Amino acid sequence: MTIAIVEVENLHKHFKQKSSLVKAVNGVSFTLYEGETFGLVGESGCGKSTTGEVLLQLTKQTSGIVKYKGRDVTSFSKKELKNWRKDVQIVFQDPYSSLNPKKNVGWILNEPLRIHQIGNRATRFEKVLRTLEDVGLDASYLERFPHELSGGQRQRVAIASAIILDPVFIVIDEGVSALDVSVQAQILNLLKELQRKYKLTYLFISHDLNVVQYFCDRIAVMYLGEIVEIGKTEEISAAPKHPYAEALFSAIPMHDEDDRRIVLEGDLPDPSNPPSGCPFHTRCAYALEICRSEKPIARSVGDGTHKVSCHLSVPVTCRNLSKTEQ
Amino acid sequence: MNTPLLAIDHLDVSFQFNDGKYKALENITFSVADNEVVGIVGESGCGKSLTAQAILGILPENACIDQGSITFKGANLVELEERKWEDVRGKSISMIFQEPMTALNPLLTIGKQISEVLKKHTNLSKAEIRERTIAMMREVGLPRAEALYKSYPHQLSGGMRQRVVIAMALIVQPDLIIADEPTTALDVTIQAQILELFKQIKETRKASMMFISHDWGVIRSICDRVLVMYAGRIVEEGSLSEILQNPKHPYTKGLIEAIPDHRKRGKALFTIPGKVPPLKERKGGCPFTDRCSRRMNICAESFPDSVTFDSNKEQTVNCHLYSKEGVLTS
């Protein structure tokens, strides 16, 4: 039986700027189940990271609901909120800026235990050592400072500080993007191992589709604050249905066995002034008249877990034909 | 035989620190032919960027060339006088850096920055310079070139900034373009656009390029030939297809196997244990010995000579696993 850990319903996050309103997250809904890795992909500025931050209540949503194990997180009392913070953690892209440069590894890992008043001095030390071992480091690292560590070691420390409170759910925001491929592989293996060992649920935010396809069970593709396609990794990577997802997956350099790369024109539109209708119509090769005026509604394809928001109902492979017919 | 555009022969570069001198590049030998794109791969700290800096004569102050030669169009750059460098740098060889925001001056307009190179290296009139700059901007796919001419870097997106940097590198029609991680800081779809632009440049301009990247996907989409660097040494060299399909050196094999993709789902990824040894901790012998799963006694003693293969004379590897004849010994 799969248990829903985090449920997100019609989430909006808008930022006010001088004269405009940036709709960073514009109505996303999804559910994360226990033990799964859910990937959130898209270009910079599409709202992936903001979604992750709202999930952890690092920033409050403008509207919509975030539920943790069935309960609305905004209904938590102050005490409940503090307890909940033990269950949910985050690992950032660049551990150099997320680890305190003036404190050594032992202090950094001890801090969350101290804040939540867990155990006594001796048991806390014990826990720090065990967690260091969990991430493949040893006691010799206790006295070291972040600048004395390599990128991979720093990321291991960041992961250690995320798992030290025995969380349920971790947001990994571009957690391996800054690493060399050989180190990246080590960290990905470590995350998988920890997930199996502690039944962790991951929200994996990344722009690197090779990594996402390898690592995630399900994927949501975001564009301008909206999820345009969501489904099982195998289904989306084998046959993406949304033209944006199609272009995104064809653009993976390692993927182009047959060199069938779709190069999208232009950049991401300004999120404070998004296009009318379907947000993707300005860059879409298949855009129809209706795409300019009407926003598509998510519809199911296949077994119902795979959803796509696009007006086109023809499979991607036939679309070139339908385009010439118009 | 034709002389290659760029030939580097037995180049050694070392850093001078308070506690001594440390070799950062050792015995680097390779060449770049006309209209050829050569890729350099390896982890951070392997000397990829340092090699580029040596070619352009922009080594850090505490680094120097100990021996070897860099021959570019028949002239040895190592012995070049400082004032003559101006004819090479930015004119015959241009460089494209990773982070376009730091490569551009935030206080100057786009047009000014692109045309600056022309002002420096040609005697064209103001009107001609403007005309050529705008034509160049169009060629690299910058929209509304006239309007953009007066914009500042912060008004542009990352992809457009990188196009500006590419325009600056191309406008003098260089013979060699060195691109150091030119797409690493960009999103996937923008990366695809920029790679497409590089392919176009390769075809229309017939320029030679050196492409430095740790991303095999990028290397794969543009390079003809690949050099694999490890801890300041070239450990393998060959055509792109040969290196990808038939890597010989355990390091190259490891790097390729560590790339995650959908076919490896559910399986642990192959990893190379340890990390690149820091400059001051490098010992004799093959620098990869400590991380190599197939190390032998001899590996710690001497750096292996390069071995070529009867089946493919283009591919060379520096590894004791292969004897002179290219047969696996162990």
pLDDT at res. A82: 93
Mean pLDDT of A55-63: 94
Instruction: Band the pLDDT of B64: cuts 50, 70, 90.
Output: very high
* pLDDT reading at A53 higher than 70: yes
The closest alpha carbon to B262, from A235, A48, A30, A229, belongs to: A235
Q: Summarize the confidence of residues B249-277 as an average pLDDT.
A: 89
Average pLDDT over residues A260-282: 83
Q: Which of B158, B159, B259 sits opposite A181 (nearest CB)?
A: B259
The predicted structure's pLDDT at residue B322: 86
CB proximity B269 to A under 8 Å: yes
Q: Does B253 touch chain A (CB under 8 A)?
A: no
How far does chain A reach from its first CA to its final CA, in angstroms?
48
Distance, CA of B156 to CA of A264 (rounded, Å): 18
Tokens of A63: 């509207």
Mean pLDDT of A295-304: 86
Q: What is the model's pLDDT at position B166? A: 92
pLDDT band at A98 (very low <50, low <70, confident <90, very high): confident
| Distance between CA atoms of residues A109 and A160, nearest Å | 7
User: How close B55 gets to chain A, by Cα (Å)?
Assistant: 24
The pLDDT tens digits of the residues spanning B215-225 come to: 888 898 899 99
**Confidence at residue A18, expressed as pLDDT on a 0 to 100 scale:** 78
Q: Do B260 and A233 touch (CB under 8 A)?
A: no
Over 50: is that where the pLDDT of B255 sits? yes
CA of residue A128 relative to chain centroid, distance: 27
Contact status, residue A209 vs residue A290, Cβ threshold 8 Å? no
CA–CA dist A131, A108 (Å, integer): 12
Range A198-216 average pLDDT = 93
Check the CA dihedral B164-B42-A257-A227 and report its sign: negative
What pLDDT score does A60 carry? Answer: 94
Confidence bin at A139 (pLDDT 50/70/90): very high
Q: Residue B75 burial (CB < 10 Å; 0-12/13-18/19+)?
A: middle
Contacts of B239 (CB under 8 A, 6+ apart): B224, B225, B226, B312, B314, B315
Choose, out of B188, B241, B253, the residue to mutate when testing the contact with A (most A CBs < 10 Å). B188
The answer to whether residue A322 scores a pLDDT higher than 80 is no
B262·A234 Cβ contact <8 A: yes
pLDDT at B144 over 60: yes
The pair of structure tokens assigned to B301 is: 């003693």
State whether B217 and A188 contact (CB < 8 Å): no
**What is d(CA A166, CA B133) in angstroms, rounded to the nearest whole number?**
59
Nearest to A182 among B187, B193, B258 (CB): B258
Highest mean pLDDT among A89-93, A127-131, A244-248, B136-140: A127-131
Sign of CA dihedral B157, B163, B169, B172: negative
Sequence-distant contacts of A145-151: CB under 8 A, at least 24 apart: A145/A101, A145/A102, A145/A103, A145/A104, A145/A105, A146/A95, A146/A96, A146/A99, A146/A100, A146/A101, A146/A105, A146/A108, A147/A96, A147/A101, A149/A105, A150/A183, A150/B275, A151/A95, A151/A96, A151/A178, A151/A179, A151/A180, A151/A183, A151/B44
Query: To the nearest whole percent, how much of chain B has pLDDT over 90?
Result: 51
Lowest mean pLDDT among A137-141, B37-41, B73-77, B96-100: B96-100
| Sign (positive or negative) of CA dihedral B69, B75, B79, B84 | negative
| Nearest residue of chain B to residue A253 (CA atoms) | B217
Tell me, what's the pLDDT at B103? 85
Cβ contact B43:B30 at 8 Å: no
Domain boundaries, chain B: 6-92+174-317, 104-173
Cβ of B265 within 8 Å of Cβ of A207? The answer is no
Average pLDDT, chain A: 88
For residue A217, give how far its alpha carbon lies from the nearest alpha carbon of chain B (Å): 9
Give B291→chain A minimum CA distance, Å.
12
pLDDT 10s digits, A68-79: 999 999 999 999
Kindly state the tokens that stand for A59: 């920033």
Nearest CA in chain B to A186: B271
Report yes or no: A267 at the B interface, CB cutoff 8 Å: yes
In this prediction, residues A204-227 reach a mean pLDDT of: 93
Cα A23 to Cα A14, A29, A39, A273, A291: the distances in Å are 4, 15, 21, 9, 19
pLDDT mean over A250-278? 74
Structure tokens at A315: 């499979």
Q: Do A210 and B261 touch (CB under 8 A)?
A: yes
pLDDT of A267 over the 90 cut: no
A270 touches chain B (CB under 8 A): no
A253: three-class secondary structure by DSSP: helix
B130 touches chain A (CB under 8 A): no
| Spatial contact of A90 and A170, defined as CB atoms under 8 Å apart | yes
Position A254 scores a pLDDT of 62
Indicate the residue of B44, B143, B258 with minimum beta-carbon distance to A185: B258
**Secondary structure (3-state) at A187:** helix
Asked whether residue B79 carries a pLDDT value surpassing 80, the answer given is yes
Q: Are strands B63-72 and B6-17 parallel, antiparallel or unpaired?
A: antiparallel
CB contact set of B153 (below 8 Å; sequence gap of 6+): B100, B101, B104, B105, B106, B110, B161, B164
State the pLDDT confidence band at A318, using cuts at 50, 70 and 90. Answer: very low
* Backbone phi and psi for residue B236, each to the nearest 5 degrees, phi listed first: -155, 150
Find how far residue A311's CA is from the centre of its chain: 26
- Of A146-150, A161-165, B51-55, B110-114, the range with the lowest mean pLDDT is A146-150
DSSP B2: P
Q: Tell if the CB–CB gap between A267 and B44 is shorter than 8 Å.
A: no
Q: Which residue of B has its CA nearest to A210?
A: B261
Give the pLDDT of residue B83: 86
pLDDT of A223 above 90: yes
What is the band of A257 on the pLDDT scale with cuts at 50, 70, 90?
Answer: low
Closest CA to B217 of A209, A111, A236: A209
Check if the beta carbon of residue A15 is closer than 8 Å to that of residue A180.
no
Is CATH 2.40.30.10 correct for B6-92+174-317?
no
Q: Which domains does chain A have, with CATH numbers?
A: 4-238 (3.40.50.300)
Paired with A172 in beta bridges are: A91, A204
So what's the pLDDT on residue A325? 37
- Interface contact flag, B192 A44, Cβ < 8 Å: no
Backbone dihedral angles phi then psi of residue B153, each to the nearest 5 degrees: -50, -40
Q: What is the mean pLDDT of residues B57-78?
A: 93
Higher-pLDDT residue of A260 and B99 is B99
Contacts of B284 (CB under 8 A, 6+ apart): B300, B301, B302, B303
Does ipTM exceed 0.85? no
What is the layout of strands, in order, in the sheet containing B93-96?
B93-96, B176-180, B208-212, B37-41, B225-230, B233-239, B316-317, B307-308
**Number of other CB atoms surrounding residue B311 within 10 Å:** 9
Percent of chain B with pLDDT over 70: 97
Cβ contact A210–B259 (<8 Å): yes
Tokens of B253: 């094999």
pLDDT, residue B141, reads 87
Highest mean pLDDT among A122-131, B180-189, B211-220, B272-281: A122-131
pLDDT reported for residue A320: 47
Q: What is the mean pLDDT of residues A299-305?
A: 84
Q: How far apart are CA B139 and CA A92, in angstroms?
A: 38
> B85 in helix, strand or coil?
helix
Min distance B217 CA to chain A CA atoms (Å): 4
Do the chains contact at B188 and A208, CB–CB below 8 Å? yes
Q: CB contact, 8 Å: A256 with chain B?
A: yes
Contacts of A184 (CB under 8 A, 6+ apart): A176, A211, B258, B260
Structure confidence at residue B210 as a pLDDT band (50, 70, 90):
very high
- A223: which strand partners? A226
Tell me how far apart the alpha carbons of residues A252 and B25 are, in angstroms, rounded to a whole number: 32
Q: Is 50 exceeded by the pLDDT of residue B330?
A: no
